[in-house]
Structure 1
């Protein structure tokens, strides 16, 4: 890392430019017109951002390391930077208190920032500005293809907000995977060509993940996290996430060249001990803003146009970014703050303690949670159809599930994580996002992975000592929520199968489900 002499602070500060830990974009709207002779960039590491949920060590480390690298880059570019480190002796522990301290010291005329991705943070900073009677200018986050205002216009008058319609609008507006007014290949969605399992042989010749050896800055952060957050979950001996713009670009190029061609086919497949498979591993860099969403989408489309990757894989990947990320951001900002409290299924169980350790004899959950704690990562099907599914079937309150996901994943920032968890995974918003609860028995996991082969439980059984807890809880979920689910036409086939169970079978399932729920308390 280049060592530079920090630029002197102006005698009179025009703008104090706030940069948060997930806004590490050198071309962000907040930094567009910074004048080093009269403006100051402000960044702060504070304990609150790692303790308002019990953040895992991998997540804390990736944020702190990326922030320190970015601040150093700003200094190299000649920006005056006020940067508070977590271990500074006078660190007050929260963004609000640290900002208050800096405003008192520098007396800026105004505050400027790119709009935050977290409702809680926005309200906190607004209060500080109001307390000091300072204007706070919020600029659009140009990292995204759309604005929240555009999504709000799209959502107006709709009772259900489906991804597909929003995704098509953005495809057309930005000319992505289009031939004139029509989608490339004659259809918008290639799901039918994707989502295969690996079969009995398992994954073959999977490229290694792109990982980065910690440099001096990251090693310093790792030592700090291991000291100050010693009781937090996870470990850092495997840390290798991109924490600079340059590393993120390398990771993007490696994905496009090595894994994108097979991504679509196996995007839903799982295999024991295989954490990385054909996924991009770019969500963390995207959410920190080390990568631009536009450049990632363009790189994928270029790979299709050059004949390097098939259309089904490229469309499936682009839909995750152009479609899903833009969609959940719109959901978050048009529904907050009440969205956080929704609990449509009236679920109130606590999250099992072994979600923090992986100490369970359910093979799929043990693998997914152990991997999550080791790397701060699991792919979308592990999240939706393993950890998320079990919590949904068990009846865990969605706010507890949300807190866990926000804690353990390196890519978790609330605007993207909350709708994915509370809405998509836990059906807590009563179908605003998802057209039905994503529920399945253990047979789904058996079909999409090898986990059941070495597990003590049988996914075909719903009662008895060998019954798979997923299968027991799946049928119990349908029994518990049958009146609600009867109103949903997409649940008709599952409820038709439920109707085949006689009263004795239902009673036995309910009794076994109660035992599972009691054991989880």
Structure 2
């Protein structure tokens, strides 16, 4: 659809991408509604480069449509191309070319994209356009790419904790002068409480479906019937006001207990005390510094404990900024890393949830239903299993990118290849995040409903995580044996009875052959 505003003789065409839904995005902030025109387009290529969850597609398209209306109400001339426009080219490049045919302009401007493949597409487009194309730095992030590269230069190890401390100093968040609030930088040791019976979890704010979202849901149902996941019920916010309401709800109902229970997993409680705002942050509906200041203010007012505030802020100014820095520092080659040489296919149950392993069934079923799982479900259940089973890290990456509403390559790829699969050989994490069934049993209630027995170390009823954990370490000893953090673990393996070690390797081999076929990972 194209509005009826009169086309200016000169001015700029401002391309707004689907994850730049903020008037503070650089290209928009510098624009002039009296002279410039905004282009936004729902394109098939962006919806299908992986088989995105239906809810994710619906969330992005509805948020885009609401943002276009917000811009129009603020006086902008907006060209909005819906997916079902009969003249749509299906690509961003094609829609820019069409817009230039409709509207003369001096140049095209766009805030730099968050993903390498889109940047490459825009670089190629620049050479074909009749007018200049300008890329503006995305300064919605708190650590510019050049600053991260400067921080990383010359470091043998780029550890997030060191980066996080620098970001605390840089932003002043949770600082008392030059010292961290409370005398410690990190309160993670207080944030590992297992689930407790009787703890009431508020869950995230939920929003009704308006006419715009209803039209998008119908479109997604018609155009993407074979994509993964449940489309409805749809409860995400799709406007800036709703995103802010969702965050307010978290601060008021969940933040105080978020820290202590952020690693806990409970069957049929997908959200617990988590904020569930990453999808809003990652498309621009929330500002990262604003949410951190609000959390800090809640702590200083005595409304929440320090471990909760610090744990939340670390996720935003620590992990979120850190993985973006790693992404842009190492791409495009990072995506091909496979330090452990894993080549097995992703098990089919990742797309269905149909497995006898209760923990995987719970996390995957939840993911397919909600397009959401929290960080421990992703890291220590679905990611841990894929690594132990020798799955190709690129296949794991494609799955995570497809199934989560908050997944964009800049944040998902380093988390998957680096933290979850150790495919970068330790660039991001100091050791593989591998664990047996005892960890899952301690941090969840999944094991009580499983057909496998978490206490059994070998045998047909043993939890697969138990044998896969030790088999993983044994088969990768050449690659991992010199890791100082794994030294005690290997010494434990070496002290085990030889018959037990052989039983572990045998049972793991049987399980993996059933999972993957006769070719080992």
Shorter-chain TM-score category? over 0.9
Matching residue within 111, 115, 125 for 2:112: 115
Change (3 A) 1:5 1:125: closer
Q: Distance in 2 between matches of 1:407 and 1:63?
A: 13
| TM alignment of 1:266-285, pairs within 5 A | 266-285=261-280
Report the alpha carbon displacement of residue 482 of structure 1 after superposing the two structures with TM. Answer: 1.2
Deviation for aligned residue 1:6: 3.5
Distance 2:349 2:6 in 1: 49
Pair 1:148-2:145 in alignment:
yes
Q: Contact 1:70–1:244 (CA<8 Å) still a contact in 2? A: yes
Q: Give the corresponding residue for 1:301.
A: 296
User: Which residue matches 1:197?
Assistant: 194
Partner of 1:290 in structure 2?
Answer: 285
Equivalent residue for 1:125, pick from 104, 122, 125: 122
Task: For 1:304-323, list aligned pairs within 5 A.
Answer: 304-323=299-318
Inter-CA distance 497–101: structure 2 relative to 1 (3 Å threshold): same
Measured against aligned partners, the alpha-carbon deviations of 1:271-301 in whole angstroms (never above 9, x if no partner) come to 1110110001110100011000011000100
Q: Is the 8 A contact 2:229 2:368 kept in 1?
A: yes
Give, in whole Å, the separation in 2 of the partners of 1:120 and 1:75. Answer: 29
Select 2:470's aligned residue among 467, 475, 490. 475
Change (3 A) 1:363 1:39: same
| 2:402 match | 407
Whether the 8 Å contact between 2:188 and 2:311 is mirrored in structure 1 is: yes
Task: Kindly report which structure 2 residues correspond to 1:68-467, keeping only aligned pairs within 5 A, or say none.
Answer: 68-199=65-196, 201=197, 203-467=198-462
Q: Which 10-residue stretch deviates more, 97-106 or 396-405?
A: 97-106
| Comparing 106-115 and 500-509, the one that deviates more | 500-509
Please give the alpha-carbon distance, in whole angstroms, between the structure 1 residues aligned to 2:73 and 2:80. Answer: 14
1:429 positional shift = 0.6
Structure 2: distance between partners of 1:407 and 1:155: 30
Describe the SS at the equivalent of 2:495.
coil
- Checking the alignment, whether the CA contact within 8 Å between 1:13 and 1:40 is kept in structure 2 is no
Alignment counterpart, residue 485 of structure 1, candidates 473, 480, 483: 480
CA shift, 1:513, in A, is 1.9
1:151-206 deviation line (CA, Å, top 9, x unaligned)? 0000001132111111111111111100110001001001122111024x2x5121
Q: TM-score scaled by structure 1? A: 0.97
> Cα offset for 1:502?
3.7
Deviation, 1:5, is 9.9
SS at match of 1:261: helix
What's the secondary structure of 2:225's corresponding residue? coil
CA contact (8 A) 1:22 1:287 kept: yes
Preserved CA contact (<8 Å) 2:203 2:274? no
Q: RMSD of aligned C-alpha atoms?
A: 1.5
Pair 1:13–1:392, CA change in 2 (3 A): farther
Q: For 2:363 and 2:142, how far apart are their aligned partners in 1?
A: 32
1:31 paired to 2:57: no
Partner-residue secondary structure (3-state), 1:43: strand
**Does residue 477 of structure 2 align to residue 510 of structure 1?**
no
User: Shift in Å at residue 469 of structure 1?
Assistant: 1.0
Query: Contact 1:41 / 1:81 at 8 angstroms: preserved in 2?
Result: yes
Q: Deviations over 1:48-76 (max 9, x none)?
A: 11211111101111111101110111111
Note the alpha carbon deviations across 1:347-401, whole angstroms, 9 max, x for none: 1000001100101111011010011010100000000001000001001111000
Mapped contact 1:7–1:78 kept (Cα < 8 A): no
Gaps of 5+ in 1: none
Distance 2:333 2:423 in 1: 12
Of 61, 64, 72, the residue aligned with 1:64 is 61
Q: Which stretch shifts more, 315-324 or 453-462? A: 453-462
State the SS of the aligned residue for 2:37: strand
Q: Could you tell me whether the CA contact under 8 Å between 1:460 and 1:468 is conserved in 2?
A: yes
Give aligned pairs, total. Answer: 516
What are structure 2's unaligned runs of at least 5 residues? 517-521
How far the C-alpha of 1:91 sits from its partner, in A, is: 1.4
How far the C-alpha of 1:7 sits from its partner, in A, is: 5.7
Paired residue secondary structure (1:42): strand
Whether the aligned pair in 2 keeps the contact of 1:10 and 1:37 (CA below 8 Å) is no
SS at match of 1:153: helix
